[in-house]
Structure 1
């Protein structure tokens, strides 16, 4: 379930009726230069068209800087309106103008003041409900005329010049002395004034993030919400209650990526701020988002509680303000601008209520309370159909939920009809988009349920083609649903089975983790900054995204107009431009992927089964597992076959076993834990029994997995009989006895690494970094970070020095014939020592240090390797973050990550951290890695590495297997203790890559 209520382009501004002439005079609709505002931005003034209305006002707009929205609006009270007793304060107090103002802002009481030219008037300090930015509202009186204005404080001198020009007392470009009103505004804000550019950056970031969320690019959406948060903090401070809105969006996008530990404290902080926010929509929206977060984690009862409370608050607000919100809700028609976004009007509360009801419906559906789910969904759909202010992508989403309710109740025909309507709306609203592709997968499911297998297969293929073209991310729940129905369709139509299985294999590769999305986002930023040619393509991509969003928004606004008055010519033109923009975007995507093979690996574009089979050697197999809440699918590829099987165990069941296995390799105060051999054997059987015969003749097995399975090395699984006796595990039939094992973060990574035919051109054998030294003054190290980074302090403070890594590195260096200058140890092992060294000169790059997870260092939000911090340096100096690794330039046959703990405290999230780090190193130029899932004792690590680097095929699965079996069976160099047969001592290391090795020298 994704975030479906984010920032949206407003459709809410009440039209101010204009009189017979504009404030500034001149030709209507023609911008006239008006000097600069208080922050130096060039401004123009534009007269609006003359209209009639109950308010009798007439309006002019001020635009400053590059912002396309008005920085201020000026309305002159019409000549036909009563003037008796009218004063600036009275004009500000009531009337249509004030009612519209209150739908957008919260204002203090008016204060009498003087404006430029000696004009008398009153000014109110205001805050935008949407964003909390400072605003001013003012009234000026002169010659029996009343001028009303509102806008950003920086635009005040332009407003004054426009009014003076209307009175014939000056020109728009004339400079005037700073008025008392301006001095009052400067003093009242208490911060440097924000220009139009700040609001432009804020709302552009929000609009972009909302679009990215709609197409389920959650990592990119998170980045843009963070940008908005930073811009807002510059204008209003970092702890202002109005920051609740962008902060809760960041938290929700983290949740949508599965990064729940990172999301939790942000939700807590956003809730604290929302409780004090001037926008009454913030708290119910926060509760609604917490409902989605809880649902993402399958805590459905908690989620329903949050959602019901959000609905109740919205109904209460509507009732308290006299707004009847229900099936008859219509909202206001017409267009508007960003500062006119009504955060507290009946329209906004109404469409917020629709979102809240939809969330409840989705949760009740998952709880199998179908009648209640149908009622909530129907009410949400009715509100949305009746409102022109609702985001156009809400209706198809709500219809999809209602279709799922119908299908769950056994009414597949109604489900297919509702889903078909949703597909049609998506195709018109966001054509060839990820939501359209996913909607087609769901439609195929319902078509199959009604017995229309041929139609279902055709619909699936349309959906998959769209998703592949978009290089989309399919979430586990969506993928398993598709695989279930595709399997059934394959069984029902044997002639299509082979083709469907190939398509299932490619669809599986579109399932990605939040860490993958985050890594792609960081790599994109690195490419944009560091490669002039590729950076130009990326910037063109970003501009294409903005153009596409603007066209979609304009098209949706045009379609919101009643059919009898629509501008069909303009709509056709918008659709044509959107098709061209889509085609341009696809060309740019292809250009970018062709320009950087490492970037293609990060994107993990699907590899066809036949393409993969052509890369496999005799005796090799690739096995991938895709796990969701209720089930897991396995995919086995050999040169002559593709096998797909369903496993009736999902994230929870597999995760519980993984936690038990991780505990079995975690030392306790009393010594070595007993490893759960039987549970390991059970997990092996669950995963591999369905394809036992297909593994005959396999000697090299490459695995890829998501979720909990990514947190363990597969060599720890037990394939056959044999028990531990008296502390010895030598009789256990470990999987590593059967296969040389390697793992990859994606099938694409295997294919691209296998194609790399050249060895490193590095002139030096080795550079090694280790003997980590913790910071001597933790408080000083973190002094520049916010107080809520206390958890980061505790995590880093608990990780002690690693003196044994110096010995480990010295032995490896001796084996490779590398001199003492090849090692960077102790206090010299700094971030600068890594990033400032010409790493492309080295064939092997070796890190022997701690690793930390993004969930453990929340203030950095990236997995990282620890380095010895420099004196008087900040916290960033202690971390070689994922983004730093992406910036390294390697030409390495092998990267070693030793002593790292990438398992995580729960045994589930660490595999994602390892996946992120390995993806980053591959992107930076590594061909293979050896990495540890948990810290391995110094002595056995030294013995293992001595064996690995002492033979042939260093870094390959075969060399690691031989070294591990030597420790298990006591065949290592010297005397090998029997306790080393315990997997703590040998199983923690994995080779990551295509399984091949390289010569040591």
Structure 2
């Protein structure tokens, strides 16, 4: 008997948890031949049933007609006795009925059928080895699905051993594809069960066996094999073997690209594997297309009533979470939850996992009570069948416990923290983050402040070290939730140093994301690249030492030795970090900056200056004020989702004629609380460190008091503070001598030729819409058609000449029209200019994927000019050497990305910083060119008189507000400009 190809295909589709196993396979007790001519009629019934079950028509294969065929075989075989026992085909029929039950999600029926079927086949197992192993596989999967994960893992181990023996004693030419596929599926199910039990090292071995069997079945380049490569990579990641994991994940992508037929239904798995890999390497927006296409193919090939389809929904949802598209993700998770439950039953572990994901999305959206209810339901759903499944607890507890604490459910939070700590201790190779998180959450629900402080600091350190491992700087949702918990503890204890350390991880992540391409270009330097890899290896060693220390603390065993080991390794890591920072400071800045020190931050504040950090974490927004005389940390009254919505409402409401005044005042009240204002004291200049949606917030236009109408005297925040925005907490390198006009050299670049025909732009041409950066790239190059639609900037030449006049003809250089090109810019020694101004279009992006990075539009290159495209990208800027004390990006939209969640200031402004520029003047949205010229010129004039740059910008804004220019008092006109420092 051969394995049903229908069964093999359906197991193959289960790309996420499949579990199975049962009792030991007995040796055959009866001498028996499966080709005995006395049972010809049974063999005919068997062929008829398999013909139906293996039919390409899915509906027919799973129809009542097929069930009836198996039932006829079962009834006839029961009557045909062999040594007083029913013919084993009676059991084979039940095993295949159980396969249909399992595919239909009727797990209790499947368990009953397969148990009876195995009992009938057991005396003849060696004569029907494939049927025996198929039955064990089904029983194991169903048993685990119904909650007995440990029992399922044991049965799968037994099935794997039997399969290994069968392979060893069978001539290779007698082993067909379906047998190898069954071997692969058994090993895969075993690996998944072991993972749910926290036995990650064993799971790696099982998944490797599954991969090797898949290769033997269908070859190394088959679409069906790609999933094995990727699943093996996932197992390696869970076992902390990241280098090997990356190798196999990339192998999956390469083979999918080179060998998979785009029309083959299995291509969906390749697309999904590629999409998930892209999401894990920081290219989540790009990954969405692959995942959505995979779901569409699954919908057409296997339908929506399959586990395969539900896993696709869940995978897409997990990619949307870090993009902060929580509502979209929640919808997918709940659809998957219903699908899993409908297929596997009410206690489906996969439905519990989907529900837990939906709960975390609800928590991020500010619905705490609903999130708690869902988390508890997910735990109960799995624990109803087993208390051995630790995977669900690892997913639930880090979110549930802080939510219970915030809800005032002390007893429930203590019980959950104790369970989380106990389960985490039992995991082999438990990552440092959950170990540290479990320790902190236990301390948070306890009564020892010193222990809470120590554990919170340790978790913050583990999270900070973990970001060094990620070249893209991205934080997972689990990391963001952990940072949120640490910040909540910092606010509760008013520990400003802890808050600063934790906020630096959030800010550094945004900086690293924004500068991913800049960093990649830097590490092409062999010296730096080797040093970075060496540091990452040392950090891995430190993480392992952290795990051992955390385990020792949890078990109160060997703590002193673990502390000493960890301290020794930490000293080596810090020495390596310091050496790289000394030798390659620009890379450190681009990768998120060095760890800040509260004393240094306070010392960096000038007279009358204070710092305010505004940080959205996971479900909360945290505020840190640092003044010369004190600090204050607190969580905003509104949750993250509500505040982000406020920012979005304010930004979308801005027009030359008005804006949402209520949102502007509500945001002021939420951020500038009495505690924050007290800490800021009498400061007149404010350095703001915003991340996430708040990086797109024009703080100067917040209303200190409600107003009925906008006038020249409206109480904007810009009247209270001169504002400088900075992406992180860096304290050095920005206390330069204040720019003086006399002796400074000025370079102005702008008014480039239009891309349409390389002739001077027609200022009467209709204005177009400024798009996101990705809209101006196509197939690896610039899209000249899109660039030709950019609107003209008639005021840019006037602006450039007016500012040049202030410096004097001997100290000013202008590159206008055809001269505003990449070639002319590269010909110049930019280190000799004190002030550089770009008056052109700025293209911004969100994720900066591929070539779609932020850029400044210059004149199109000559046909003979190789290697140029007319766009000066962020990574190109970063490679320059700029000595300017001040760079002014008087261009449309150079500050933030094309959506509220774009990385901090798009990377374009920061690229100038890493090229050596001092402060930058940039804009939040497309700017009216006459307003841009006014603000730029007035700011330069103020700085020339010796005013601090933030004050010069403040006065320029106030002068524009008080002028008689059309709509000048409206924030749409004056508010987009920001001064970016450090």
Normalised-by-shorter TM-score class: 0.5 to 0.7
Q: Could you tell me which residue of structure 1 aligns to residue 745 of structure 2? A: 765
CA gap 1:846/1:771 in 2 versus in 1, 3 angstroms: same
Residues 419-498 of structure 1 mapped to structure 2, 5 A cutoff: 419-422=420-423, 424=425, 429-430=429-430, 433-447=432-446, 451-470=447-466, 477-488=481-492, 490=493
- Which structure: greater strand fraction? 1
Residues 191-202 of structure 1 mapped to structure 2, 5 A cutoff: none
- Which structure: greater helix fraction? 2
Deviation at 1:847, TM superposition (A): 1.9
Q: Could you tell me which residue of structure 1 aligns to residue 690 of structure 2? A: 705
Q: Secondary structure at the match of 2:693?
A: helix
Confirm or deny that 1:528 pairs with 2:523: yes
Counterparts of 2:213 and 2:351 in 1: how far apart (Å)? Answer: 28
Question: Any conservation in 2 of the 1:420–1:443 contact (CA below 8 Å)?
Answer: yes
Confirm or deny that 1:802 pairs with 2:831: no
Q: Secondary structure at the match of 1:865?
A: strand
Deviation at 1:529, TM superposition (A): 0.9
Deviation at 1:621, TM superposition (A): 1.0
Q: Could you tell me which residue of structure 1 aligns to residue 182 of structure 2? A: 99
Confirm or deny that 1:501 pairs with 2:501: no
Counterparts of 1:76 and 1:683 in 2: how far apart (Å)? Answer: 65
CA gap 1:249/1:992 in 2 versus in 1, 3 angstroms: same
Counterparts of 1:430 and 1:842 in 2: how far apart (Å)? Answer: 54
Paired positions, count: 764
Counterparts of 2:167 and 2:900 in 1: how far apart (Å)? Answer: 71
Question: Any conservation in 1 of the 2:725–2:978 contact (CA below 8 Å)?
Answer: yes
Q: Could you tell me which residue of structure 2 aligns to residue 285 of structure 1? A: 311
Deviation at 1:745, TM superposition (A): 0.9
Confirm or deny that 1:735 pairs with 2:717: yes
For the aligned residue pairs, the C-alpha RMSD in angstroms reads 5.7
Residues 167-182 of structure 1 mapped to structure 2, 5 A cutoff: none
Deviation at 1:227, TM superposition (A): 9.1
Q: Secondary structure at the match of 1:411?
A: helix
Question: Any conservation in 1 of the 2:227–2:270 contact (CA below 8 Å)?
Answer: no
Counterparts of 1:273 and 1:129 in 2: how far apart (Å)? Answer: 28
Counterparts of 1:477 and 1:707 in 2: how far apart (Å)? Answer: 15
Q: Secondary structure at the match of 2:507?
A: coil
Counterparts of 1:861 and 1:895 in 2: how far apart (Å)? Answer: 23
Q: 1:958-998: CA deviations, max 9, x gaps?
A: 2222322332233xxxxx5364333333332211116xxxx
Q: 1:521-544: CA deviations, max 9, x gaps?
A: 4344223213x4322202324556
Of the three residues 622, 626, 631, the one matched with 1:637 is 626
Of the three residues 948, 960, 964, the one matched with 2:957 is 964
CA gap 1:208/1:841 in 2 versus in 1, 3 angstroms: farther
Q: Secondary structure at the match of 1:846?
A: strand
Question: Any conservation in 1 of the 2:695–2:896 contact (CA below 8 Å)?
Answer: no
Confirm or deny that 1:269 pairs with 2:293: yes
Deviation at 1:434, TM superposition (A): 3.9
Q: Secondary structure at the match of 1:870?
A: coil
Counterparts of 2:938 and 2:874 in 1: how far apart (Å)? Answer: 30
Gaps of 5+ in 2: 1-13, 26-125, 131-162, 189-206, 469-474, 549-560, 759-773
More displaced 10-residue stretch of structure 1: 594-603 or 701-710: 594-603
Question: Any conservation in 2 of the 1:771–1:829 contact (CA below 8 Å)?
Answer: yes
More displaced 10-residue stretch of structure 1: 503-512 or 541-550: 541-550
Confirm or deny that 1:896 pairs with 2:896: no
Residues 647-686 of structure 1 mapped to structure 2, 5 A cutoff: 647-663=636-652, 665-666=654-655, 672-677=656-661, 679-686=663-670
Question: Any conservation in 1 of the 2:745–2:833 contact (CA below 8 Å)?
Answer: yes
CA gap 1:269/1:54 in 2 versus in 1, 3 angstroms: same
CA gap 1:547/1:92 in 2 versus in 1, 3 angstroms: farther
Q: Secondary structure at the match of 1:896?
A: strand
Counterparts of 2:467 and 2:250 in 1: how far apart (Å)? Answer: 24
CA gap 1:854/1:247 in 2 versus in 1, 3 angstroms: farther
Counterparts of 1:80 and 1:681 in 2: how far apart (Å)? Answer: 75
Deviation at 1:7, TM superposition (A): 10
Q: Could you tell me which residue of structure 2 aligns to residue 745 of structure 1? A: 727
Of the three residues 823, 830, 851, the one matched with 1:839 is 830
Counterparts of 2:400 and 2:602 in 1: how far apart (Å)? Answer: 42
Of the three residues 603, 612, 629, the one matched with 1:623 is 612
Q: Could you tell me which residue of structure 2 aligns to residue 64 of structure 1? A: none
Counterparts of 1:13 and 1:542 in 2: how far apart (Å)? Answer: 40
More displaced 10-residue stretch of structure 1: 941-950 or 675-684: 675-684
Deviation at 1:785, TM superposition (A): 4.0
Confirm or deny that 1:931 pairs with 2:930: no
Of the three residues 600, 604, 611, the one matched with 2:593 is 604
CA gap 1:102/1:697 in 2 versus in 1, 3 angstroms: closer
Residues 154-169 of structure 1 mapped to structure 2, 5 A cutoff: none
CA gap 1:647/1:224 in 2 versus in 1, 3 angstroms: farther
Question: Any conservation in 2 of the 1:208–1:224 contact (CA below 8 Å)?
Answer: no
Deviation at 1:619, TM superposition (A): 1.0
Counterparts of 1:550 and 1:55 in 2: how far apart (Å)? Answer: 47
* TM-score, scaled to structure 2: 0.64
Question: Any conservation in 2 of the 1:775–1:869 contact (CA below 8 Å)?
Answer: yes
Confirm or deny that 1:538 pairs with 2:535: no
Q: Secondary structure at the match of 2:370?
A: coil
Q: 1:392-415: CA deviations, max 9, x gaps?
A: 977644554565687666513312
Deviation at 1:482, TM superposition (A): 3.3
CA gap 1:231/1:645 in 2 versus in 1, 3 angstroms: same
Q: Secondary structure at the match of 2:511?
A: helix
Deviation at 1:99, TM superposition (A): 2.7
Counterparts of 2:248 and 2:165 in 1: how far apart (Å)? Answer: 41
Gaps of 5+ in 1: 1-5, 18-52, 58-74, 106-127, 139-149, 154-188, 320-324, 328-349, 491-496, 556-572, 667-671, 971-975, 995-1001
Question: Any conservation in 1 of the 2:647–2:694 contact (CA below 8 Å)?
Answer: yes
Deviation at 1:930, TM superposition (A): 0.8
Q: Could you tell me which residue of structure 1 aligns to residue 857 of structure 2? A: 866
Q: Could you tell me which residue of structure 2 aligns to residue 359 of structure 1? A: 357
Counterparts of 2:242 and 2:338 in 1: how far apart (Å)? Answer: 26
Question: Any conservation in 1 of the 2:750–2:840 contact (CA below 8 Å)?
Answer: yes
Residues 64-103 of structure 1 mapped to structure 2, 5 A cutoff: 88=173, 91-92=175-176, 95=179, 97=180, 99-100=182-183
Counterparts of 1:7 and 1:886 in 2: how far apart (Å)? Answer: 42
Q: Secondary structure at the match of 1:529?
A: coil
Q: Could you tell me which residue of structure 1 aligns to residue 96 of structure 2? A: none
Question: Any conservation in 2 of the 1:244–1:277 contact (CA below 8 Å)?
Answer: no
* TM-score, scaled to structure 1: 0.63
Question: Any conservation in 2 of the 1:929–1:955 contact (CA below 8 Å)?
Answer: no
Q: 1:432-478: CA deviations, max 9, x gaps?
A: x344444444333323xxx4444333322332343345457596654
Counterparts of 1:231 and 1:546 in 2: how far apart (Å)? Answer: 29
Question: Any conservation in 2 of the 1:940–1:986 contact (CA below 8 Å)?
Answer: yes
Counterparts of 2:529 and 2:893 in 1: how far apart (Å)? Answer: 35
Q: Could you tell me which residue of structure 2 aligns to residue 881 of structure 1? A: 873
Deviation at 1:702, TM superposition (A): 1.4
Q: 1:701-742: CA deviations, max 9, x gaps?
A: 2112123332133222233587657xxx32223333333221
Counterparts of 2:757 and 2:235 in 1: how far apart (Å)? Answer: 43
CA gap 1:543/1:12 in 2 versus in 1, 3 angstroms: farther
More displaced 10-residue stretch of structure 1: 404-413 or 507-516: 404-413
Q: 1:103-147: CA deviations, max 9, x gaps?
A: 699xxxxxxxxxxxxxxxxxxxxxx99999998758xxxxxxxxx
CA gap 1:212/1:710 in 2 versus in 1, 3 angstroms: farther
Question: Any conservation in 2 of the 1:357–1:380 contact (CA below 8 Å)?
Answer: no
Question: Any conservation in 1 of the 2:895–2:906 contact (CA below 8 Å)?
Answer: no
Deviation at 1:692, TM superposition (A): 3.6
Q: Secondary structure at the match of 2:872?
A: strand
CA gap 1:674/1:860 in 2 versus in 1, 3 angstroms: same
